């Protein structure tokens, strides 16, 4: 079992290079099944979700070669359409993209229902609605395997999404690029990673327009060719470091970012009293530790609204604000599990369904806590770095799913954090 040991209470200063976007990478990697030439993917984040996805691709016969830490070449010419083992997909929600990609390439897919962070019921009915509109038959076996098949081939059609879903939008795009005719996705999600997947597919020769708006048109093409593509910077990783600097005080710059993608986050940080300075490809947050943060209300929404993946990190900021703040979760039923852990650190907060109310306190105190999921784990790191003294965080494997080199990046801006593990009860320190 691995833990983070944090000695908190310091201001943070310096810059953090932002890695490639997790949720773009997780759509782009399965997309390589759609092309039988070699694809070179650059700016690929080194995180366990990406490693898991590469393992799945490799188990199906994809040939993968690392060119450097953040670039791979993948060739799926000899890949086989094997059922993906449950053991490999259970921790990776994005394994559902294999359904769209395999349907597109082979006309058939058999993939175990995905796992991922537990925020309550997370159905995939909109993905299935899309595949069926394109002519596939889809069934879910008693063992939780999704079986999809398009015996006559996929044929484009219109799909109206009943809920704005990132996963369904990307999955339908994957299935549609090689289908006959035109597919139109209405009420599509608009997240930057959707635009990135569309750009990747278009670089391979697909014909997709409208990504980034709520109507996406995909005209099917005969075949795709290999390409070189660099993944966009991770909006949520950048937002997490900016929120962190706002919490601890100091001055931190995230570099290699697209400031436009961060607007909903930086607007809220400014409202709370942080100074935000945007340059072409960097954003700096500056805040004096001596001034209390202002109270605000936040509601999570699909892009360009405030992202649900920044909600726990803002829970920490609102815990420290001067007055009462309301945090409303607009996407998931159950994404407030971390609030109990924050309470153990002195936060005063109540949760009722999708609404959390924070009565801001002046200080958080160190305590042993457990990361209930990826972004909640990042939020607890923030809380630990604010609280003066030693905080121990368990279950850090969640954090490693989505933040590349987090310990190294934090230490570079002055944070006192270590990753330790306990093989056979003995505590061993590991460099990260
Ligand atoms: N939904 C349905 N039916 C569907 C699909 C979704 O009802 O068929 C509902 C979901 O239950 C949820 C809402 O629609 O209430 C939005 O879900 P969405 O499909 O957009 O989420 P997702 O594709 O499963 C991705 C990210 C999440 C991120 C959400 C929202 C990946 C691999 N995951 O999930 O990322 O929270 O979009 O932006 O891209 C994270 O990075 O920490 C993370 C959880």
Identify how many contiguous H helices and E strands the chain contains and give both numbers: 14, 26
Expressed in angstroms, the distance from the first to the final Cα of the chain is 15
For the chain, give the number of residues.
432
- Tokens (6 digits) for 67: 């060119």
Q: Is 35 a catalytic residue?
A: no
94 pocket-lining for ligand 1 (C-beta < 6 Å): yes
Task: State which residues of the chain have pLDDT below 70.
Answer: 115-120, 422-432
Pocket lining: 28 vs ligand 1, CB cutoff 6 Å: no
Q: How far apart are CA 381 and CA 399, in angstroms?
A: 9
Residue 134 to residue 129: CA distance in whole angstroms: 9
DSSP state, 396? T
Cα of 414 from ligand 1 centre, angstroms: 34
CA dist 82 and 78 (Å) reads 12
DSSP class of residue 113?
P
Q: Find the catalytic residue in 10, 35, 39, 117.
A: 117
* Residue among 27, 97, 122, 146 whose CB has most ligand 1 atoms within 8 A, to mutate: 122
Cα separation, 156 vs 135, whole angstroms: 8
Alpha-carbon distance of 28 to 124, in angstroms, equals 19
| CA proximity to 175, closest of 199, 151, 153 | 153
Which pLDDT belongs to residue 119? Answer: 62
Task: Ligand 1, residue 120: give the atom nearest the CA.
Answer: 11
Between CA 413 and CA 131 the distance in angstroms is 46
Residue 31: name the closest of 197, 150, 206 by CA: 197
Q: Name the residue of 167, 195, 314 whose CB sits within 8 Å of the most ligand 1 atoms, as the mutation to test its pocket.
A: 167
Would the CB of 127 count as within 6 Å of ligand 1? Answer: yes
In 10 A of CB 23, how many CB atoms?
A: 24
pLDDT at 421: 87
Q: DSSP letters of 144-199?
A: SEEEEE-TT--B--EEE-SS--HHHHHHHHHHHTTSBSEEEEES----HHHHHHHH
Asked whether the bond before 304 is cis by omega within 30 degrees of 0, the reply is yes
Write down the pLDDT at residue 430.
34
Whether residue 45 has its Cβ less than 6 Å from ligand 1: no
374 lines ligand 1 (CB under 6 A): yes
pLDDT in tens, 66-106: 999 999 999 999 999 988 877 788 778 899 999 999 999 99
Give the Å distance between the CA of 165 and the centre of ligand 1: 6
- Between the CA of 75 and the centroid of ligand 1 the distance, in Å, is 28
State whether the beta carbon of 118 lies less than 6 angstroms from ligand 1.
no
Q: How far is the CA of 58 from the centre of ligand 1 (A)?
A: 25
Does the CB atom of residue 124 touch ligand 1 within 6 A? Answer: yes
Strand partners, 216: 185
Mutate to test the pocket of ligand 1, among 19, 20, 23 (most ligand atoms within 8 A of CB): 23
Residue 331, ligand 1, Cβ within 6 A: yes
Please report which residue ranges of 231-280 form alpha helices under DSSP H.
235-248, 263-271
Between the CA of 167 and the centroid of ligand 1 the distance, in Å, is: 6
| Whole-number Å distance between alpha carbons of 368 and 389 | 11
Task: Judge if the beta carbon of residue 370 lies within 6 A of ligand 1.
Answer: no
């Amino acid at each position: 079992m691995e833990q983070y040991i944090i000695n908190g209470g310091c201001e943070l200063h310096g810059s953090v290079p932002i890695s490639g976007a997790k949720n773009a990478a997780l759509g782009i990697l399965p997309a390589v099944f759609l092309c039988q030439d070699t694809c070179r993917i650059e700016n690929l984040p080194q995180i366990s979700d990406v490693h898991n996805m590469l393992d799945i691709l490799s188990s199906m016969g994809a040939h993968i070669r690392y060119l450097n830490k953040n670039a791979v070449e993948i060739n799926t010419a000899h890949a086989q359409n094997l059922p993906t083992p449950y053991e490999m997909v259970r921790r990776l929600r994005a394994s559902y993209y294999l359904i769209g990609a395999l349907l597109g390439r082979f006309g058939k897919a058999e993939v175990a229902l995905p796992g991922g962070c537990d925020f309550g019921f997370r159905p995939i009915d909109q993905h299935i609605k899309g595949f069926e509109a394109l002519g596939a038959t889809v069934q879910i076996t008693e063992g939780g395997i999704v079986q999809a098949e398009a015996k006559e081939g996929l044929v484009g059609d219109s799909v109206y999404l009943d809920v704005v879903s990132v996963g369904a939008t990307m999955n339908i795009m994957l299935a549609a690029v090689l289908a006959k005719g035109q597919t139109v996705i209405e009420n599509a999600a608009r997240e930057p990673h959707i635009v990135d997947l569309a750009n990747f597919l278009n670089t391979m020769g697909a014909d997709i327009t409208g990504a980034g708006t709520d109507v996406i048109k995909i005209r099917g093409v005969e075949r795709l060719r290999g390409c070189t593509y660099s993944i966009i910077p991770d909006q949520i990783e950048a937002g997490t470091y900016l929120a962190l600097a706002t919490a601890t005080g100091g001055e931190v710059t995230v570099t290699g970012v697209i400031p436009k993608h961060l607007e909903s986050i930086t607007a809220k940080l400014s409202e709370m009293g942080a100074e935000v300075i945007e340059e072409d490809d960097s954003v700096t947050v500056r805040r004096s530790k001596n001034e209390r943060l202002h109270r605000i209300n936040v509601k999570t929404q699909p892009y360009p609204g405030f992202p649900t993946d920044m909600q726990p990190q803002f829970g920490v900021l609102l815990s420290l604000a001067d007055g009462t703040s309301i945090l409303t979760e607009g996407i998931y039923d159950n994404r407030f599990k971390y609030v109990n852990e924050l309470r153990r650190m002195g936060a005063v907060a109540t949760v009722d369904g999708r609404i959390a109310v924070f009565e801001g306190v002046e200080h958080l105190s160190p305590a042993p806590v457990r990361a209930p999921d990826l972004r909640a784990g990042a939020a607890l790191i923030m809380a630990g770095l604010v609280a003066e003294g030693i905080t121990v965080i368990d279950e850090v494997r969640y954090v490693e799913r989505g933040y590349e080199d987090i310990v190294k990046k934090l230490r570079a801006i002055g944070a006192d954090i270590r990753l330790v593990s306990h093989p056979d009860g003995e505590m061993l320190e590991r460099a990260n």
